[in-house]
Chain A
Amino acid sequence: MTATHPSPDVQQYPAHFEPPHGSTWRTFFGPGLVRGAWMTVAGFLIGMLLVLALRWWWGWEPLWNTEVILVVGGMVLAPIGFLAGIGSFDYWLHYISGRPTRPEDHSGHGAKTWKDYFRVNTDHKVIGIQYLVTTFAFFTIGGLMAMFFRAELAQPGLQFVDSQTFNGLVSVHATLMIFLFIIPAFAGLANFAVPLMLGAPDMAFPRLNALSFWLLPIAGLMFVASFLAPGGAFGAGWTGYAPLAEGQPLGQTFFNMGVQWAGASSIMTALNFLVTIITMRAPGMTFWRMPLLVWANFTTSLLVVLATPFIAGSQFFVMFDRVMHTSFFVPEGGGYVLGYQHIFWFYSHPAVYIMMLPGFGIVSEVISSMSRKPIFGYRLMALSLLGILVLGFSVWAHHMFVAGMADWLRVPMMITTLLIAIPTGIKVFSWIATLWRGRIHLTTPMLFALGFVTMFVIGGLSGIYLGSVPIDIAASDTYFIVAHIHYVLFGGSVFTIYAGVYYWFPKMTGRMYSETLGKWHFWMTFLSFNATFFPMHYVGLRGMPRRVFDYDEAFGNMNLFISIASFVLGASFVLFVYNVITSWQRGPVAEANPWRARTLEWQVSSPPPIFNFDEIPQVVGGPYEYGVPGARHAILTPTKEAQKEAEEVHA
């Protein structure tokens, strides 16, 4: 299966499959957004009628139960209708029902106009961009929510919103950032880069890949739409602890179900990455020749497939308790309240690495190519990822040190938690050793990578405080936690996403971004980020709990300062958006390899050809052999001379 190449000569297939009907018929019944819209409505109505019919049949009162109808119609059948409508299932349904499938013409490949981004498209490069644009849209929404509640928090007491809205804003903010920004933005970058880096023409399952993407907007809209539900958005935090979540208004169901769609999307993508990485490596691309970004996504995907089913389970149980009156977590019914937290964190601790390992990969690429040096300790870098993967499953209860769980669990969980600092430390030290005596190009991606290294160290160190049970007892559930997660997720993950977007921007768009604006963006973000989140350590330790709209007068000035800094941080994002939009439209045309990097994606044109490689690349060495005389990562034109060269390198 290794890199089976379809013929690059696309013209021999019909460019588009023509249905045997007129154009109006096609608009309404052919795959696309119009059919998606009416099939969404149809899905909802079918669900509603199903619920009404069953309730009538069993004689249940009242006949109309909004929550049940919303779950079955609104959150299950309407999304399925939408997916079917836009054509995600067309190929499979034709195949299953024995009808002629659409000729395998790859007409879903490539994007000629912007409209092609609004179709089910199977090209991993298009899907990568679809992911990134969508996730940055949700990043904007989540960020605006943060601006809103930081305004509320600038002074003690309630000024702008009521307390349910406040809780809703905080909860939806965190949920969007995690499930609709960090996790899928990494999936988007990897979608674009990983097949290219492997020397593969696409992902292993392009149609599954397209489906994974289209599940995302569904999840995101569900989270945002919860604000319209009677009683307001879900307000039990992104952690949605039972039993609080079980007594929440209707909005909570939007969380329970939204997580299912986002989770399904992650699992499908992860399976796709695993199969792609295992089976579609170009000839010569052994595991020990894979770039670290590929290694990072390999480990992340393993984490996703093993852990994500647990959060799906936890949210189903809460929803069953709410809707079907089971009692998984209802103590009066024999339920086990702490059970929720164990299941939830069994996913959500590994999830913090799902939100970090791909960033480790990005930073390894950037630091190595911008320092013009091989990555320091390549094998240990890959092995430490695997170390984190294994240890990551043995530490979940460090989120429960004050939850009242069995006492004996605390010390073992503390030890495993502290041990994670070792592979993490190896990575940090190897990055800075890569800088040593390099020839450092301080471009925007490099600035973000170095910003990441320093900020992530702060986040990791505050993690060590929290890993020590006695300190955690004092610091848990305060603003100190808020500081910690923002140092690891903003200073960590978000900085690496920025680094990745700048780094691959020329490859994705074929144009160069503005370095000047990029540097302004970095410095403004870096400074206001620290001004916003560093003081949170202080107010937290001093006694300010997290997730509060009101606090002790004594923290007033500090919170005012934090809020002002957070507005600057919000404004810095505008620079980024402006840079991306204007550069995409009319930036200078990018070269194929502006960074002189060695990995395969840079050996093809910017943007790459429709099937990535016109010839199958032959991998002959490691990906970071900067400065090694005569070393090559791959040979792309297997002409006679190149063949000879390959043999020489081998010898």
Chain B
Amino acid sequence: MRKGIVQLVAIGVVIGVAVALVAVLFQWLPESASEEFDRIQDIYWFATWMSVVIFAVVAAVVVYSVWKWRVPPDDDAEGPPIHGHTGLEIAWTAVPAILVIALGIVSAVVLSRNAEEKEGALEVRALGQQFAWTFEYPELGDFETGELVLPVGRQAQFTMESVDVIHSFWVPNLGQKMDAVPGIETEIFVTPKRTGEFAVVCTELCGLGHATMRAKARVVTPAEFDQWIEEQRT
């Protein structure tokens, strides 16, 4: 029995390491460009390590059992009549419960921090319409653009609206996403932390041109931003 447990653990470790390598060797997430996405990525890694362990445990037991206790088709013996084990059953109710509650608490904390409005937030209106995005900066002038430009380091408060059907605003590197819904206004906060060019995509099926409803997003230095605003005003 002792030997069996060692073998089982060895299989579990091999599977766990293999899955962990898959998790770290590929760049599963886009490179974060916002403070909010940094926090989301932290939970992502929490969930990932939890998943690696759970998958390794289940897969190891399945592989080990089949390897150890497989019998030829003509075997007609029966297994030992084990009906249950109260200790084990309590354990595998309690441990997952603790894990998911921990994940829930961390998620709730991140969620509320990602929805905190900071002072001096830049107000941006994102308008969804089949099949293009329009952006407005109501505090900075009366103009519309098809390109989203944000100053680095300053929180932007997005208000979403739609004139026809539901669209969804997403910049993969910024992490946050929100539907633009006709009839109501929705809101998200994004604090870009590095400059660069990104893509705005619509993620809610909105009709024939849904796939091509994309726009450009640029995160620039505050000086460049002020200059860009000047250009837009004229």
Contact = CB atoms under 8 A, between A and B. Distances in A.
Interface of A: 163-164, 167, 236-237, 241, 243-244, 247, 331, 335-338, 371-374, 376-378, 380, 402-404, 407, 410-411, 414-415, 418-419, 421-422, 425-426, 428-430, 432-433, 435-443, 450, 453-454, 457-458, 461, 464-465, 467-471, 473-474, 476-478, 537-538, 541-543, 545-552, 596, 625-628, 631
14 contacts: A163-B209, A163-B210, A167-B210, A244-B166, A372-B77, A418-B100, A469-B108, A470-B110, A474-B40, A474-B175, A477-B170, A545-B210, A547-B205, A547-B210
Contacts of B178: 402, 404, 473
Given A331-B183, A402-B177, A438 B30 contact: no
Nearest to B67: A440
Interface of B: 26-30, 37, 39-40, 43-44, 47, 50-51, 54-55, 58-59, 61-62, 65-66, 69-71, 73, 75-85, 88-89, 92-93, 96-97, 100-101, 103-104, 106-108, 110-111, 114-115, 160, 164-166, 168, 170, 172, 175-179, 181-184, 186, 199, 201-212
Nearest to B99: A421
A436 B65 contact: yes
B30 A470 contact: no
Contacts of B115: 407
Contacts of B172: 474, 542-543
Nearest to B97: A422
A433 B88 contact: yes
A61 B115 CA distance: 52
A628 B75 CA distance: 17
Given A440-B65, A542-B30, A546-B203, A380 B58 contact: no
Q: Is the interface of B mostly helix, strand, loop or mixed?
A: mixed
B93 A426 contact: yes
A457 B76 CA distance: 31
B43 to A, nearest CB: 6
Nearest to A625: B81
Contact of A470 (B43, B101, B164): B43
Contacts of A454: 58-59, 62
A106 to B, nearest CB: 38
B211 A550 contact: yes
Contacts of B84: 376-378, 380
B233 to A, nearest CB: 31
A628 B80 CA distance: 8
A432 B84 CA distance: 12
B43 A338 contact: no
B57 to A, nearest CB: 9
Given A236-B205, A414-B108, A627 B81 contact: yes
Nearest to A453: B62
B73 to A, nearest CB: 6
A121 B228 CA distance: 74
Nearest to A546: B203
A473 B110 CA distance: 12
B147 to A, nearest CB: 17
A414 B75 contact: no
B82 A373 contact: yes
A52 B202 CA distance: 43
A335 B183 CA distance: 9
Contacts of B170: 477, 545
A229 B215 CA distance: 34
A247 B208 CA distance: 12
Given A464-B103, A471-B40, A372 B168 contact: no
